[in-house]
Amino acid sequence: MRVAMIGSGYVGLVSGACFADFGHDVVCVDKDPSKIERLNNGIMPIYEPGLEQLVTGNARAGRLTFTTDLAEGIKGAEAVFIAVGTPSRRGDGHADLSYVHAAAKEIAEALEGYTVIVNKSTVPVGTGDEVERIIREANPQADFAVVSNPEFLREGAAIGDFKRPDRIVIGTQDDRAKAVMTELYRPLFLNQSPLLFMGRRSAEITKYAANAFLATKITFINEMADLCEAVGGNVQDVARGIGLDNRIGGKFLNAGPGYGGSCFPKDTLALVKTAQDAGSPVRIVETVAAVNEDRKRAMAQKVIALAGGDVRGKVVAILGLTFKPNTDDMRDSPAIPIIEVLQAAGAIIRAHDPEGETQARLVLTNVEYCANPWDALTDADVAALVTEWDAFRALDLDRIKAVMKTPAMADLRNVYRPEEMARRGITYVGIGR
Ligand code: NAD
C-alpha cells in the first residue's frame, strides 16, 4: 500500500520505517528541511536503538523516501498519517493543535481519490471531527475518512513496540476506512496483535486514559516511596509485594524522580483541561500532575541535603539527563528542574549523558558537559544518578570513592544497593529505602 507520514519525528519516523519494513511503500514528510536532508543522507535526526539500520535498509530497498513537499508526498497514498507534535499550549496546558490543523489543511488541498487520513498524533477528543471539518471546508469535493489511530510506542523501545504492540486502537465507523486500516496493519494482525475497532472519540480518549493511568501508577509508587522513607520501609519490597498481584501488575512501579518526557506531562495536563471544559473533571489526574511537578523539585532538595544542606560553590555530578535511557529526548526531563534548582542554590553542575548532550545543550545552560561519567565525578562533592542508562549500572564503586572529593551519591533510580554503597564508604541515599 502507499502510505504518507506527515511529521518525521520520534513517532512518524519510527512508524514510517516500520510500515516500510512490512512491505508498504512509505513517504515520510517533514517541514524541517534539515531533518529531511539528514534522512536522505542516511543520518538519523534522533537517537533510537535500531532505527538507523531500519531506515537505511528500507530506503535502500526503495520502500522509504523522504521529502519536504507534502503535496508530492501524499500523491497516490491510500493512507495519510498525521504524526506532528501536539505540545502543551503555552499558558493554559491545553494541547496545541496548530500543527495538526495546519497539516490537515495542507493535506486537504492535495487530496486525490479516496484517502484515509489517520490521526496518529495524541489529540484531545473531538479533534477528528475538527480535522474532518477543516478538510471538508478546504476541499469540498474530497473523498476521505478521518480515523483515530493513537500510538502507544515508548521511546527507547519504539521499534519493538510498534512491531509487537499490545493492541492497535482504530477509531472509525467508516467501512472503507476499516478495510484500509486492516490491510495496513495486516502484518501485525498475523502476529496476533489485537486490532481494536471503536468510535473515533473513544480512540482519542483511550490514548489519554492510558497515559494518565500510567502516570498515576508512577506517582502512586513515588508517594509510597516517600512514606517508606518517613516510616522505615523499602519501596522496592512494597512494589514487588503489590506488583505480583495480577490485578495490579509489576510494571511502572519503579519509584524515581517523577515522570517526564514528551508525553506524560503534557498529556495529563491536556486531559485535565479537556475534562474541566466538559464539566467532568478528572480529579485524580489533576492531583497526579501536581504531585509529580512538586516531586522533581523535591529531588533537588534530596541532593542538597546529601551535600550537608548547602551546595553553594560545590560541584554536583549529574549522571543522566534524558527523561529515560535509550533516547536523546530531553522534553520535560526531570533533570531540567533538578539542575535548575541546584543551580539556583549555587551548585556547579557537571553532567554526562550517553546520548542526550546535544538536546540538553538547547535547554540547560551553565552546565559543564563531560564526555564520560568519570570526568563528571572526579573531584565532585556529590553525585546524582538521574537516568538509569546501562552505562551507569555497574560503575566501579571503588573508583567513585577514589575520584570524588567527598564520595556521596543520590541515586534517584535505585540502581545501587544501600548496603554495598555503605561497604565501599560512599554516603548514599536512594528513593524510598
Ligand atoms: P516530534 O516533535 O518528534 O515530531 C513531529 C514532527 O512533525 C517534527 O519533525 C515537525 O517538524 C513535523 N511537522 C510539524 N508540522 C508539520 C507539517 N505541517 N508538515 C510536515 N511536518 C510537520 O514529535 P513526536 O514525539 O514524534 O510526537 C508526535 C505525536 O505523537 C505527538 O502528538 C505525541 O504526543 C504523539 N506520541 C509521541 C510518542 C513519543 O514517544 N514521542 C509516543 C506516542 C505518541
Segment 283-342, tens digit of pLDDT: 999 999 999 999 999 999 999 999 999 999 999 999 999 999 999 999 999 999 999 999
Residue with CA nearest ligand 1 atom 2? 85
**Contact assessment for residue 99 and residue 142, using Cβ atoms and an 8 Å cutoff:** no
Residue type, 63: R
pLDDT of residue 23 exceeding 90: yes
How much is the pLDDT for 103? 98
Provide CB contacts within 8 A for 258, sequence distance 6+.
Answer: 218, 219, 222, 292, 293, 295, 296, 299, 334
**Contact assessment for residue 250 and residue 239, using Cβ atoms and an 8 Å cutoff:** yes
Segment 133-187, tens digit of pLDDT: 999 999 999 999 999 999 999 999 999 999 999 999 999 999 999 999 999 999 9
pLDDT of residue 46 exceeding 90: yes
CA–CA distance, 272 with 110 (Å, rounded to integer): 35
Average pLDDT of the residues in 393-422 = 98
Segment 50-94, tens digit of pLDDT: 999 999 999 999 999 999 999 999 999 999 999 999 999 988 999
pLDDT of residue 192 exceeding 90: no
Verify whether ligand 1 is closer than 6 Å to residue 29 (CB atom): yes
Residue closest to 320 by CA, chosen among 350, 348, 296, 353 = 353
How much is the pLDDT for 282? 98
CA of residue 240 to ligand 1 center, whole Å: 35
CA of residue 181 to ligand 1 center, whole Å: 21
Pairing type for strands 79-82 and 2-6 reads: parallel
Pairing type for strands 315-319 and 367-369 reads: unpaired
Provide CB contacts within 8 A for 348, sequence distance 6+.
Answer: 313, 314, 315, 316, 368
**Contact assessment for residue 272 and residue 289, using Cβ atoms and an 8 Å cutoff:** yes
CA of residue 155 to ligand 1 center, whole Å: 12
CA of residue 180 to ligand 1 center, whole Å: 23
Average pLDDT of the residues in 184-206 = 93
Q: What are phi and psi of 185, to 5 degrees?
A: -95, 10
Which atom of ligand 1 is nearest to 12's Cα? 26
Verify whether ligand 1 is closer than 6 Å to residue 328 (CB atom): no
| pTM of the model as a whole | 0.97
Q: How far out from the chain centre does Cα 18 lie?
A: 18
Verify whether ligand 1 is closer than 6 Å to residue 31 (CB atom): yes
pLDDT of residue 191 exceeding 80: no
* Helix 200-231 × helix 235-243 angle, to 10°: 140
The verdict on whether 263 is a catalytic residue reads yes
CA–CA distance, 363 with 331 (Å, rounded to integer): 9
Verify whether ligand 1 is closer than 6 Å to residue 104 (CB atom): no
How much is the pLDDT for 358? 97
Residue type, 244: L
Segment 105-117, tens digit of pLDDT: 999 999 999 999 9
Q: What are phi and psi of 146, to 5 degrees?
A: -105, 125
CA–CA distance, 86 with 291 (Å, rounded to integer): 23
* HEC per residue, the chain: CEEEEECCCHHHHHHHHHHHHCCCEEEEECCCHHHHHHHHCCCCCCCCCCHHHHHHHHHHCCCEEEECCHHHHCCCCCEEEECCCCCECCCCCCECCHHHHHHHHHHHHHCCCCEEEEECCCCCCCHHHHHHHHHHHHCCCCCEEEEECCCCCCCCCHHHHHHCCCCEEEECCCHHHHHHHHHHCHHHHHCCCCEEEECHHHHHHHHHHHHHHHHHHHHHHHHHHHHHHHHCCCHHHHHHHHHCCCCCCCCCCCCCCCCCCCCHHHHHHHHHHHHHHCCCCCHHHHHHHHHHHHHHHHHHHHHHHHCCCCCCCCEEEEECCCCCCCCCCCCCCCHHHHHHHHHHCCCEEEEECCCCHHHHHHHCCCEEECCCHHHHHCCCCEEEECCCCHHHCCCCHHHHHHHCCCCEEEECCCCCCHHHHHHCCCEEECCCC
Verify whether ligand 1 is closer than 6 Å to residue 211 (CB atom): no
Grid cell locating 326: 535509550
How much is the pLDDT for 299? 98
How much is the pLDDT for 402? 98
Share of the chain above pLDDT 70, in %: 100
Distance set, CA 364 to CA 248, 295, 318, 335, 340 (Å) = 37, 19, 12, 9, 8
Which atom of ligand 1 is nearest to 11's Cα? 26
Segment 203-213, tens digit of pLDDT: 999 999 999 99
pLDDT of residue 189 exceeding 90: no
Domains in the chain, CATH or no CATH each? 2-198 (3.40.50.720), 232-433 (3.40.50.720)
CA–CA distance, 68 with 6 (Å, rounded to integer): 9
